[in-house]
Amino acid sequence: MINSKNYFTKMLLGVLILSLVILIVFTRSSFAIYGASTDLINKWFQIILLMLVGVSMIFKNYTAQLLVFFLFGLCISFTSFYVTKDKTILNILLIMFFFSSYSKKTVVKSFLVVNILSFAIIIISNKLGLLNSVFVQNGSFSSIKNSLGFIHPNTLGITLLIINLLLVYLYREKLKVWHVLGINFINLYFYHFSGARTSMALIILTYIMWALFKYSTVMLLTPGKLVLAYSILILFLFFFSYYSSMSSSLFVTKTFLSHLDELLTGRLTLGNMFIQEYGINLVGHQVSFSSLDNLIYSTGNNYRILDNSYLKLLINYGLIVSISYIFLNIATVYKSIKTENDFWILIPFTIFAFIGFSEQSMLYFWVNFTFFFTNTVFFDDNGGNAEMGDERHCREKIR
C-alpha cells in the first residue's frame, strides 16, 4: 500500500525540481538574451514557489522553533525586498522552509537532478541549433569563449562546477581515483569551450579536498579546528573583498591589487565604483546593474556588474543580511561537524566561499545548495545527515 504522505512529499519535491529546471533553461540559457519571456518565467516560478510553501504549511507539521525562525526570516526578507526591490533573499528563505521536511541527502540529490537535466537540455538544444552560443572575448588572454547555449560561458563553467560539487559530496566514499580522472576529462572538454578559469580552478580544488579528506589525516583534526579554519576563511574573504576594492593601491600601477584587478578583469575597480556610489548600511540599497545585453561580447570592465557576492551582500542587501549569512554558514558547518561528524560539508562550503570573491552566483538559490543545509541541520527531526552515511564510523575506521 502506498504511503500517501510520503507520495505527497515526493510529488511536491518533483514539482519544485521541474520548476527549477524550467527556470534555469529559460533564464540561464541564451534564450534569455533573444527571448522576451524571461520576466514571465520568473513571475511564474515565484507563484509556483509560493504555492508549494503554502501547501506545505497546510499539510505538513512544523515545530514551533522552525516557525519562529521562518517568521523572523520573513521580516528580514520583506524588509530587504521593500528596500532593494530584489526577491533573492525572500526566495532563498521560501526554499529553505520548503526543504525543512527533507533530509540533507534529498536536498543534494534534488539539486544534482536539477543541474544535470538543465545542463543536458541546454547543451543538446545548442547542438540541435535550438539555442545559440554566446561568444565572449576574454580581454586578458585574447581568446574567444563559447557558452554552448548558456547565457554566458562563465554560466557553463559554474553549472559544471556545481555538478562536480554535488557528485563529490553525495558519493564521497564511493568515488575512486579512476572515476575522478574520467570526470575531469569531461571537465577539460567543456573548459576548452567555456574558458571559465575560476570554475576550473575550483573544480580542481574540489578534488584536492576530496583526496585530502579521503586519503589523509585531515579528518582527524578536531571539529573546533576545522570550524575555526572555515570561519577565518569566510571572514577574511568578506573583509578582503571590501579592503581590496577600497585600498588606494588598487589605482597604483604594478601593485599587488592592480595586478589582481587585471587578473579579475576589473572586478575590484567595479567594486570600488559601487561602494563609492551606494555605500553600506543596515538594510541595503536598490542597486542599478547593467542589462545582460550590455554584458554580452564585452571585454574588460565596460559593464556595471558587481561580480563579488560579499560586496553584493554588503551593498545590495545590507549589514543585517550579511551578518546573518556569516552566522548561519558558520553555525551550519559547526553543527554538521560537531554533532554529525560530517566534515565533508567543508568542501561545498569552502568552494562557495571562494566563488563569492569573483562571482555573484554564490547568492543564486539554484546554484548555492548549501543555503538549504541550514534548515535540515537545525530543524530536520530525522537528522540532517541521517541518510548521508555513517561519518563517525568512517573517522574511527581511519584512526
Instruction: Return the SS3 of 264.
Output: coil
Mean pLDDT, to the nearest integer, of 371-386? 63
Tell me: pLDDT of 362 over 50: yes
Dihedrals phi, psi of 26, to nearest 5 degrees: -90, -20
Q: For the chain, what percent of residues have pLDDT higher than 70?
A: 85
pLDDT digits (tens, 9 = 90+) for 23-50: 999 999 988 876 557 888 989 999 999 9
Q: Which residue has the higher pLDDT, 355 or 398?
A: 355
What is the mean pLDDT of the segment spanning 8-28? 93
Query: What CA–CA distance (Å, rounded) separates 10 from 241?
Result: 41
Identity at 367, one-letter amino acid code: V
Tally of residues, the chain: 399
> 354 falls in which pLDDT band (50, 70, 90)?
very high
64 pLDDT exceeds 90?
no
Q: Over range 70-84, report the average pLDDT.
A: 92
Residue 138 sits at φ, ψ, to 5 deg, of -90, 105
Cell of 122: 541546454
High-pLDDT (> 90) share of the chain, % = 55
For cell 520548503, the residue is 98
- The rounded distance, in Å, linking the Cα atoms of 105 and 388 is 6
pLDDT digits (tens, 9 = 90+) for 129-168: 999 988 887 655 557 889 999 998 999 999 999 999 999 9
CA angle 324, 89, 47 (to 5 degrees): 150
Mean pLDDT value across residues 249-257: 88
Report pLDDT for 34: 66
390: confidence class by pLDDT, cuts 50, 70, 90: very low
What local confidence, expressed as pLDDT, does residue 391 receive?
44
The answer to whether 329 and 234 have CB atoms below 8 angstroms apart is yes
pLDDT 10s digits, 183-236: 999 999 999 999 888 999 999 999 999 998 888 776 667 778 889 999 999 999
Q: 144 pairs with which residues across the strands?
A: 137
pLDDT number for residue 379: 64
Tens of pLDDT, residue by residue over 306-338, are: 889 999 999 999 999 999 999 999 999 998 888
Q: Which residue has the higher pLDDT, 103 or 280?
A: 280
Phi and psi dihedrals of 154, rounded to 5?
-65, -30
Q: Is the pLDDT of residue 7 over 90?
A: no
